[in-house]
Amino acid sequence: MSFKKVLFSPSSLTNLFVIAVSVFISFLLYMFLHHSSVSSAVYVVDNEKLFDGFSMTKETKREGEHLLKLQKVRLDSLNVQFAMAESEAQKQQVYDMILQEKEKMLQFNETYSSEQTAKVWKRIEGYVKDYAELKQYGLIIGSQVQGDVLYYDQKRDVTTDLLNYINKRYEGFN
């Protein structure tokens, strides 16, 4: 008769498997509950206040106003030249230049604003992601007047804290 050494019987292997699965499920449940308790709360930010209060927005606005003033000075100079032109040919030439300058101003107004707004929002989005990870927030919703968020508890509004954070990051303090 041959003797086989059996460490585990089939029924004990089944029991061991059930225990291992139970421990694994308990671990997953613990991790889910622990993680969700930290980051499941929803926080709200006023998009308009965040955008308008961001230092980069203010810098971009000042820069755009400066560039627009330079264009206006060129246009005013052309208007003076037009008034001082002696011949119809000179007036027509200056008038054409005035039209071109006005077209440049229109193009500038359209493109500068949209391009700079996109750049500012891209920077804000990066900072918001960093802020949310730092604070372990699972969700930050943007709100605006007559937007999708109709009500939120003011205790969930992190606009001021987030604005301070992104301005410090932008200015190189974080």
pLDDT digits (tens, 9 = 90+) for 118-152: 999 999 999 999 999 999 998 999 987 767 777 88
pLDDT, residue 61, reads: 94
pLDDT in tens, 8-58: 455 555 655 556 545 555 555 555 555 544 455 889 999 999 999 999 999
pTM higher than the cut 0.85: no
Q: What angle do CA 20, 23, 28 make, to 5 degrees?
A: 125
| Residue ranges of domains in the chain, CATH in brackets | 38-170 (3.30.910.20)
- Tell me the C-alpha distance between 106 and 112, whole Å: 10
Helix (H) or strand (E) holding 43, with range, is strand 42-46
